Amino acid sequence: MTVVVIGGGIVGLASAYELATRGADVVVCERGSIGSGSTERSVGGIRAQFSTPVNVELSRESMRVWERFEERFGIDIEYRRTGYLFLARSEAVGAELEETVAMQNERGVPSELLDPDAAQEHCPGIDPDRFVAGTYSPTDGFADPHLALQGYARAATDAGVDIRTKTPVTDVIREGAGAGDDGGDTAGRVTGVETPDGRLEAAYVVNAAGPWAREIAAMADVSLPITPKRRQIAVVKPEQSVPETDPLTIDLESGSYFRPDRDGDALVGGHFGPPDPARDPNGYDRSMDFDWSIDALEAVAEWTSYFGPESAVKRGWAGLYAVTPDDTAILEETVPGFVTAAGFSGHGFQHAPATGKLVAELVTEDEASLVDIKALSSDRFGRDAERLERNVV
């Protein structure tokens, strides 16, 4: 069985690897270079503190892989489990955190609800007077996305995957007379793709194209609500060094966050200010906006002692999230022969190991069993009231 995976980021390569280990002949089509989309611009966060059960389960299954990645793939991804610390300024958000911790605990996540003084014990630089509550889980952390991608790329190649860079998909082939208006099954099964080098026939095509996923879906006469949105990160030399033991710390209501980097530096970001409009994934500005970096630094300085007036922005970058209306992925066989694994809304790196396994199950076993993915079906939009996942790093 031949499977074409569209997208050479970490979700695509994890899927290709898992498919190949189950006996599929896999071709990866990547329009640029490996990881040149969102993966290379990820902060690398790995957490189980999500507010929806399906994302908690994706995290738990992915963490099983991240924990043993070096043993399995032979590459140290610099996985550091210093925790995530979420902070609430209002009683309403504090109450939401209490409910979320209860849900996480039911699923085996060792998160806990904290008062501000207890939160400060995990991150000494925060001002506890600014907050009413926090949550912390010691098993959260972050890793190096470049090293993880290297591990999956090497393992996929060793498993026989044909990785083709500089190979954009120009069309997705569906049998039959043409698609219906809703992209339904009347259009027939997806049977392959067109590339500049010719047609590739396939039993399945996997759309793991990240910010380009909506464009790829449209080639198959499928409409998916996935929007590319630009996000930014600043590398900051703080006035007071950020300890390497500090967690990735988020002020939920201002939208600002930081995490320790090397040599006392910090990565600073946030989803605040005027919303970034949808971006053309082929032509957005990958450099950091200086004005944004000043706003980001001022935001974290307001609630921590690390980022005083002598702090300096050293460099930064911008990347794209592939965002859905509820900030949660689409993972399904959208039409026969066409599997979607996209729209992770900033969570694609950390959920890639579980996603790869689920894609392989959908293709080779006709259903997913590792995690119940009913909540990730694209038909949830407009049908039910979506539970919005908190879109933080």
Is residue 180 located within the same domain as residue 282?
A: no
pLDDT tens digits for range 271-293 = 765 556 556 788 888 899 999 99
Q: Which residue has the tokens 């069309």?
A: 171
Is residue 23 located within the same domain as residue 161?
A: yes
Mean pLDDT of the chain: 93
Question: Residue 387's pLDDT band (boundaries 50, 70, 90)?
Answer: low
Has residue 76 been placed in a domain?
A: no
**Which of 273, 275, 314 is CA-nearest to residue 296?**
273
CA distance 1 to 201: 10
Is residue 236 located within the same domain as residue 203?
A: no
Task: Tell me which of 323, 355, 388 is where a domain ends.
Answer: 323
Task: Tell me which of 323, 342, 366 is where a domain ends.
Answer: 323
Question: Residue 266's pLDDT band (boundaries 50, 70, 90)?
Answer: very high
* Radius of gyration from C-alpha coordinates of the chain: 21
Average of per-residue pLDDT across 142-158: 96
Has residue 385 been placed in a domain?
A: no
CA distance 353 to 351: 6
102: domain CATH number?
A: 3.30.9.10
Average of per-residue pLDDT across 339-359: 97
pLDDT for 276 equals 63
pLDDT at 385 > cutoff 60: no
Is residue 344 located within the same domain as residue 357?
A: yes
pLDDT tens digits for range 206-248 = 999 999 999 999 999 999 999 999 999 999 999 999 999 999 9
Is residue 44 located within the same domain as residue 136?
A: no
Is residue 61 located within the same domain as residue 106?
A: no
pLDDT for 187 equals 66
Order of strands across the sheet that contains 198-201: 171-174, 190-195, 198-201
pLDDT for 363 equals 98
Is residue 126 located within the same domain as residue 270?
A: yes
pLDDT at 97 > cutoff 70: yes
pLDDT for 41 equals 83
Amino acid in the structure at residue 268: V
pLDDT for 176 equals 76
Identify the bridge partners of residue 302 per DSSP, sorted by sequence position.
Answer: none
Has residue 386 been placed in a domain?
A: no
Looking at the 3D structure of the chain, how many domains does it have?
2
pLDDT for 393 equals 64
Domain around 253:
81-140+227-323
Is residue 216 located within the same domain as residue 99?
A: no
Is residue 231 located within the same domain as residue 316?
A: yes
Average of per-residue pLDDT across 99-121: 98
DSSP assignment string, 267-278: EEEES-SSPPPB
Task: Tell me which of 307, 323, 339 is where a domain ends.
Answer: 323
pLDDT at 345 > cutoff 90: yes
CA distance 193 to 174: 9
Cβ neighbourhood burial of 282 (10 Å; 0-12, 13-18, 19+): exposed
pTM of the complete model: 0.93
